[in-house]
């Protein structure tokens, strides 16, 4: 497969996952405000999505309407939901003959729906429904990738992009919100925020099934970072990245085909043999910062090995995982 075609597959997967992740975060923040009748800190939402610094360069207004528009509809923000879906659609257009008609139609429909949405006058309940629909449609796209595409090179690149993005997004959400929760006194409000954190990565019900109703921060870290069977955990996503890299690489005597596979294997081993207690001793925030750094290294190696051309500044900004 040509490197350009491989890159289209890879970035289509990443942009769809990024749009879904941002929709999850904003939807949960809205829902929390509706459930508990509080005015939330929209600056934290910017921090969770990695956009606080970029936003502050152009505005100091952290009001709900301004921040929400920036994260959802602003075309100048390369990581807004609309921008992500635009880029996903453009990448899909470049491989229109490689993907199924069902996948193309569903992605195009979602892009047009978000582009044509008018936000003025919408209430909070309507906003929650809007973001829920984005999440549902992103899951539909994932199902169409698995249900209508050949298990070839392109399929592996889509999965590679999607799971690498998921690992980074979950690590960053947990890192930022864990840091904020450390400064809050133990009580009902803190419990609500832990529940909000779990909902923002679709792990609330999963947590209740595994650990019952008792909310323990160490268990949250274990579920979101180390659990091997949770599809939203960092470990699960990195294992999927490693599997796709192994399928794409040529095996060597050393047991890995290239540096991307070596970096992914090293991170996977770390996540497989680390305990939540050890993470607590090191510091959850510091540990997750290291994980994000390693995920960025994997992304850089994938680019160097499979796509291999210098990025412009605008491309770096839109395609970087770093906050």
Note the pLDDT tens digit of each residue in 155-169. 999 999 999 999 999
Give the HSE-up count for residue 271: Cα atoms under 13 Å, Cβ half-sphere: 32
> What confidence tier does 251 reach under pLDDT thresholds 50, 70, 90?
low
Integer Cα distance of 247 and 235 in angstroms: 18
Does 185 score more than 80 pLDDT? no
Q: Does the structure show a pLDDT above 90 at 83?
A: yes
| Angle ∠(319,321,323) on CA atoms, nearest 5 | 120
Task: Give 4's pLDDT tier (boundaries 50, 70, 90).
Answer: very high
Residue 307: predicted pLDDT = 92
CA 155/CA 26 separation, integer angstroms = 29
DSSP string, 274-288: --HHHHHHH-HHHHH
pLDDT computed for residue 323 by the predictor: 40
The larger pLDDT score, comparing residue 293 to residue 189, is at 293
Give the pLDDT confidence score for residue 249 in this predicted structure.
85
Would you state the structure tokens that stand for residue 221, as one six-digit string?
């870290």
pLDDT tens digits, 298-311 = 999 999 999 986 55
Q: Which residue has the tokens 């090179």?
A: 153
- Whole-angstrom CA distances from 168 to 66, 96, 320 are 26, 28, 11
- In angstroms, rounded to a whole number, what is the distance separating the alpha carbons of residues 306 and 7? 8
pLDDT band at 63 (very low <50, low <70, confident <90, very high): confident
Please, how many CA atoms are within 13 Å of residue 236, restricted to the half-sphere of its CB? Answer: 14
Q: Quote the percentage of the chain above a pLDDT of 90.
A: 70
Task: Give mean pLDDT, residues 37-41.
Answer: 62
- pLDDT computed for residue 213 by the predictor: 75
187 — pLDDT class (breaks 50, 70, 90): low
Q: Are 47 and 176 in contact (CB under 8 A)?
A: yes
The DSSP symbol for 225 reads: I
Mean pLDDT of the chain: 89
Q: What is the distance between the alpha carbons of residues 168 and 176, in angstroms, rounded to a whole number?
A: 12
Which whole number is the average pLDDT over 14-29? Answer: 94
Q: What is the mean pLDDT of residues 106-114?
A: 97
Provide the pLDDT for residue 322.
46
Q: Give the distance from CA 246 to its chain's centroid.
A: 22
Predicted local distance difference test score (pLDDT) of residue 30: 82
Residue 177 CB coordination number (10 Å): 22
For the chain, what percent of residues have pLDDT higher than 70?
A: 88
pLDDT band at 212 (very low <50, low <70, confident <90, very high): confident
Mean pLDDT of 255-281: 92
Give the per-residue pLDDT at 38: 56
- Is the dihedral angle over the CA atoms 56, 61, 62, 64 positive or is it negative? negative
Residue 236 predicted with pLDDT over 60? yes
How many Å apart are CA 320 and CA 76, to the nearest integer?
Answer: 16
DSSP symbol at 309: S
Asked whether residue 312 carries a pLDDT value surpassing 60, the answer given is: no
114 vs 38, higher pLDDT = 114
Q: Where are the domains of the chain?
A: 1-149, 151-313
* Predicted confidence (pLDDT) at residue 139 exceeds the cutoff of 90: yes
The helix (run of H) or strand (run of E) holding residue 130 is: helix 124-148
Q: How many CB atoms lie within 10 A of CB 53?
A: 10
For 195-210, the pLDDT digits (tens) are 899 999 999 999 999 9
Q: What angle do CA 292, 177, 13 make, to 5 degrees?
A: 45
Contact between 169 and 18 under an 8 Å Cβ cutoff? The reply is: yes
pLDDT for residue 224 is more than 50: yes
């Amino acid at each position: 497969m040509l490197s350009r075609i491989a890159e289209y597959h890879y970035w289509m997967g990443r942009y769809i996952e990024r749009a879904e992740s941002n929709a999850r975060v904003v939807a949960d923040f809205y829902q929390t405000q509706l459930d508990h009748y509080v005015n939330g800190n929209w600056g934290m939402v910017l921090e969770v999505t990695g956009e606080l610094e970029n936003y502050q360069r152009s505005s100091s207004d952290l009001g709900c309407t301004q921040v929400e528009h920036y994260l959802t509809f602003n075309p100048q923000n390369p990581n807004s939901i609309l921008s992500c879906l635009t880029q996903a659609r453009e990448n899909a257009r470049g491989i229109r003959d490689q993907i199924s008609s069902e996948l193309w139609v569903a992605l195009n429909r979602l892009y047009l729906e978000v582009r044509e949405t008018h936000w003025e006058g919408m209430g909070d309940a309507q906003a929650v429904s809007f973001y829920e629909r984005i999440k549902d449609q992103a899951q539909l796209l994932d199902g169409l990738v698995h249900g209508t595409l050949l298990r070839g090179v392109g399929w592996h690149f889509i999965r590679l992009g999607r799971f690498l993005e998921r690992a980074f997004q979950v690590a960053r959400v947990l890192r930022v919100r864990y840091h904020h929760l450390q400064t809050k006194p133990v009580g009902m409000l803190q419990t609500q925020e832990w529940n909000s954190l779990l909902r923002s990565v679709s792990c609330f019900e999963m947590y209740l099934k595994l650990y019952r109703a008792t909310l323990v921060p160490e268990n949250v870290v274990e579920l979101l970072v180390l659990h091997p069977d949770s599809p939203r955990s960092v470990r699960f996503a990195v294992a999927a990245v490693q599997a796709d890299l192994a399928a794409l690489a040529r095996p060597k005597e050393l047991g890995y085909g290239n540096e991307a596979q070596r970096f992914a294997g090293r991170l996977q081993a770390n996540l497989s043999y680390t305990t939540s207690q050890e993470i607590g001793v090191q510091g959850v925030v510091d540990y997750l910062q290291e994980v994000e750094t390693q995920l960025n290294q994997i992304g850089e190696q994938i680019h160097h090995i499979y796509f291999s051309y210098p990025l412009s500044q605008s491309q770096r900004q839109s395609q970087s995982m770093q906050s």
